[in-house]
């Protein structure tokens, strides 16, 4: 093999592998930081916003509790990310349903009363289930429903 043909092979491989190196995470990754009750940072520095829920923001009632529950569920853990229709929100955050093993984190946060079920069309794949979890939290007077 000549030096030129070796260079061409390396160039072709680099061209073919570049999209894999630059793609955004999907599948399984690790949570490196919890921002609040519905937003985390994963490996690679990507911000992930949980689809279908809305947790209290900094300074709002139940913010710290919601953040702590989220930390307990995902901090430092391997999570599986599931996309709905939209990839990102207007802030550039990935929009995902999040799972630790078989546990649906978005729903668990709502079930514990740490967030409201909130539809953000077109991403509504599990909205009926999330709303049922909110109703359970309300009736049980958990979290923000105390």
How do residues 125-146 score in pLDDT, each as one tens digit?
999 999 999 999 999 999 999 9
Residue tagged active-site, from 49, 96, 111, 134: 49
Going by pLDDT thresholds of 50, 70 and 90, the confidence category of residue 26 is low
Q: Cis link prior to 122 (omega < 30° from 0)?
A: yes
| 96 noted as active-site residue | no
More confident residue, 17 or 72: 72
| 49 noted as active-site residue | yes
Domain 25-145: CATH architecture, name and number where available: Beta Barrel (2.40)
Residue tagged active-site, from 93, 96, 111, 134: 93
Distance CA(3)–CA(6), nearest Å, equals: 5
- Helices (H), ranges, the chain: 3-22, 63-74, 105-111, 127-140
Confidence (pTM): 0.83
């Amino acid at each position: 093999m000549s030096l030129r043909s070796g260079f061409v092979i390396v160039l072709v491989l680099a061209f073919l592998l570049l999209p894999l190196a630059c793609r955004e995470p999907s599948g399984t990754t690790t949570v490196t930081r919890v921002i609040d009750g519905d937003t985390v940072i994963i490996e690679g520095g990507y911000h992930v916003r949980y689809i279908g829920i809305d947790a209290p923001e900094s300074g709002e009632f139940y913010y710290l509790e919601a953040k702590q529950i989220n930390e307990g569920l995902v901090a430092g853990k391997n999570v599986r990310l599931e996309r709905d229709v939209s990839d990102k929100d207007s802030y550039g955050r990935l929009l995902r349903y999040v799972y630790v093993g078989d546990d649906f984190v978005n729903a668990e946060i709502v079930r514990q009363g740490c967030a409201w079920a909130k539809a953000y069309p077109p991403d509504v794949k599990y909205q009926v289930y999330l709303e049922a979890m909110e109703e359970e939290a309300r009736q049980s007077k958990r979290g923000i429903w105390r």
